Structure 1
Amino acid sequence: MFERLPSNWMLVIKSIGYWFWLIPVLGIPLSYYWSLNSQYANAWPWLVVLVVFGVIPLLDFIIGRDPANPDEAVQVPQMEQQGYYRLLSLITVPALLGMLGWAGWVFVNHEAWSWVGQLGWVLSVGTVTGAIGITVAHEFIHKDPQLEQNAGGLLLAAVCYGGFKIEHVRGHHVHVSTPEDASSSRYGQSLYAFLPHAYVHNFLNAWKLEAERLKRKSLPALHWRNELIGWYAISALFLLGFSLAFGWLGALFFIAQSVVAFTLLEIVNYVEHYGLHRRKLENGRYERTNPTHSWNSNFLLTNLFLFHLQRHSDHHAYAKRRYQVLRHFDDSPQLPNGYAGMIVLALFPPLWRAVMDPRVRAYYAGEEHQLTDSQLTHS
């Protein structure tokens, strides 16, 4: 639909379209108000989940891909200096935290829902804190300004996944698409085999990295300067706040939405790197990360919702590039739908393998030994 528009037009459209993040955030209070006095009261709390994972994948096919890359010589320097894009992402922090607190109050005090409605509410809120909150946090933790670093840490603490701030930048980006990376899924590995390993090693790797950093400063791992301790302490304060304000149900809500949010993150990790690996060189090191080591998805609509997260190939090649100037590469391996559709597909391993395994094999055509070696390495 937009693929033939001039690049300059697309950049203008996208500068406005990045505000789409407000749609799922506002979808939470709207679904509550529409459920009031409705004979389908327990259905409305599922609204955001159904739209994100049902409607958006269809719209991705209809609206199509985004062909626009900013000009490196002129547009990229200009766009990276425009405070508009930074402000747009920073506004998400108070909006998401305010929504989260209000949603906890609704969960505890709204008596019209049965457990079915409450489950839909938790899944919808966790989808927003995961899809929008963690996505924006991911953008922030790759940037140098302390304001953005702290904003990213706060959003991650709000879903009890502060270790991601450390492990993702200093672990995942170093070891991506190698056997050392717990966030890179293997060829033939199901989502349900991937998730438990990812949960555990996200925390363990973060702790190891912080312990090594502090050791270089001649400090013990159990020290107030351990960043991991600080962010999880903030998570504990969130939990305490929800408990004091809303009782044990408030605590349950906070933990449950956190689990939904960070599970969504790890499913995205599974999708982004499935079956791809960096080749090992003769010197024993892995080749340098480049845009061919991550799955790319250039569907316009989901990219607007997710601040260009789906241009993941460019992100891994140039991690500090801001979201508004991430580029699409035709030679990167391409997903057949946006992340929302691929997440749904990943929940059904036989369907996932039927769609994705041929794409992985096609990517390694002519060097199938690479794929075989990868399978053996990760068995």
Structure 2
Amino acid sequence: MFAFLPPAWMLSLKKAGYWIWLVPVFGIPVSYWWSYGSDHPNAWGWFVISVVFLVIPILDAIVGRDPANPDETTEVPVLEREGYYRFLSLLTVPLLLGMLVYGGWVLAHYEAWNWVGKLGWILSVGTVMGAIGITVSHELIHKDPQLEQMAGGLLLAAVCYAGFKVEHVRGHHVNVSTPDDASSSRYDQSLYAFLPHAYKHNFLNAWRLEAQRLKRKGLPALHWRNELIWWYVISALFLVGFSVAFGWIGAVYFLGQSAMAFTLLEIVNYVEHYGLHRRRLDDGRYERTTHEHSWNSNFLLTNLFLFHLQRHSDHHAYAKRRYQVLRHYDASPQLPNGYAGMIVLALFPPLWRAVMNPRVRAYYAGEEYQLSDTQRA
């Protein structure tokens, strides 16, 4: 749809378009307001999650792909210096936390919903915290400034998944697309086989990596300088706060939206690396991570919603690049839809395999033996 636009125009359009993340955030209170006086109030509890996973994939196909890469010489240095993009990512933190508290208040006080509406509400809030909150936290924890590190950690603590802050940067980015990485899904592995393994090993890996960091400093793992302890304390304080403010339903709400959010993260991990691997070299090491080792999805709409997370190939090749300057590579393996549509597809393993397995085999044409030889868990 936008292929005819000059690249400079496209970059200007995207500069304003990143504000689209506000749509799902404010979709939460809007769905609550619209349920008032409705003949079917429970349906409105499912409004946001329905739009994200039913409407967005269709709009992705209609809107199409993003044709613009910033010019490395003239545009990237300017874009990287602009504080506007950093401000935009940091602004999500207070608004998301405010939405989270508001969602708990609504659930505790709104009597028009039965358990169906309440479940939809919890899953909808968790979808926003996962799709926007964890996406932004992912952007922030890759950056050096302490403010961004703390903001990213706080968003992860709000969904009880602080281990991601440690394991993703020090583990996943080191071992991506190898059998050593719990976040890299294997060829022909179903989502339901992947998720339990990812939950368990990413949690354990985070503690192992933090213990190794402290050991190098001559400190024990259970030390006050273990950042995981502090982040999980904050998660516990969130849980206590929601329980005190809203009773048992507040505790169920906080834990439920957390589970939805971090499950969404792990499904995205499944989608991003399915079947891809780094070749083992003669010396036993794996080849350097490049833009060929992650699935890319250059659909404009979801790229704006997700702060260019779908240009994941460039992110893994250059992890500290800020979202506004991530590039699309035609040579990267390409997903047939945005993340919202691919998440839905992953929920149905036969359909997923029918769509994705031929793409993996085509990408490794002539090297199909590596799909089994190098991807054993």
- Give the alignment's TM-score, normalised by structure 2: 0.99
Match of 1:277 in 2: 277
Offset of 1:45 from its aligned partner? 1.1
User: What code does the residue aligned with 2:27 have?
Assistant: G
Q: Between 106-115 and 340-349, report the one with greater CA deviation.
A: 106-115
Match of 2:15 in 1: 15
Gapped regions of structure 1 (runs ≥ 5):
none
* Aligned residues: CA RMSD: 0.6
Match of 2:325 in 1: 325
User: What code does the residue aligned with 2:345 have?
Assistant: L
1:206-243 superposed Cα distances (whole Å, 9 cap, x missing partner): 00000000000010000010011111010001001101
1:158-217 superposed Cα distances (whole Å, 9 cap, x missing partner): 000000000000000000000000000000100000000101111100000000000000
Match of 2:182 in 1: 182
1:73-103 superposed Cα distances (whole Å, 9 cap, x missing partner): 1110110010000001111000000000010
Separation of aligned partners in 2, 1:273 and 1:19: 28
Offset of 1:108 from its aligned partner? 1.1
Match of 1:339 in 2: 339
Separation of aligned partners in 2, 1:367 and 1:217: 44
1:101-126 superposed Cα distances (whole Å, 9 cap, x missing partner): 01001111111101110011011000
Offset of 1:67 from its aligned partner? 1.1
User: What code does the residue aligned with 1:246 have?
Assistant: F
1:41-81 superposed Cα distances (whole Å, 9 cap, x missing partner): 00011111111000110001101000100010111011001
Q: Between 70-79 and 366-375, report the one with greater CA deviation.
A: 366-375
Gapped regions of structure 2 (runs ≥ 5):
none
- For the Cα contact (< 8 Å) 1:187–1:374, is it kept in 2? no
- For the Cα contact (< 8 Å) 1:108–1:249, is it kept in 2? yes
Separation of aligned partners in 2, 1:18 and 1:319: 20
Does 2:224 align with 1:224? yes
- For the Cα contact (< 8 Å) 1:171–1:205, is it kept in 2? yes
Residues paired across the two proteins, number:
377
Secondary structure of the equivalent of 2:264?
helix
Does 2:24 align with 1:36? no
User: What code does the residue aligned with 2:339 have?
Assistant: Y
User: What code does the residue aligned with 1:55 have?
Assistant: V
Offset of 1:361 from its aligned partner? 0.2
Separation of aligned partners in 2, 1:139 and 1:273: 18
Separation of aligned partners in 2, 1:203 and 1:371: 27
Match of 1:370 in 2: 370
Does 2:48 align with 1:48? yes
Offset of 1:299 from its aligned partner? 0.2
Match of 2:103 in 1: 103
Match of 1:288 in 2: 288
Offset of 1:40 from its aligned partner? 1.1
Separation of aligned partners in 1, 2:35 and 2:193: 37
Separation of aligned partners in 2, 1:299 and 1:308: 10
User: What code does the residue aligned with 2:266 have?
Assistant: E
**1:69-84 matched pairs, under 5 angstroms:** 69-84=69-84
Identity %: 78
Secondary structure of the equivalent of 1:310?
coil
Match of 1:251 in 2: 251
Offset of 1:37 from its aligned partner? 1.4
1:126-151 superposed Cα distances (whole Å, 9 cap, x missing partner): 00000000000000000000000000
Offset of 1:4 from its aligned partner? 2.1
- Give the alignment's TM-score, normalised by structure 1: 0.99
Match of 2:4 in 1: 4
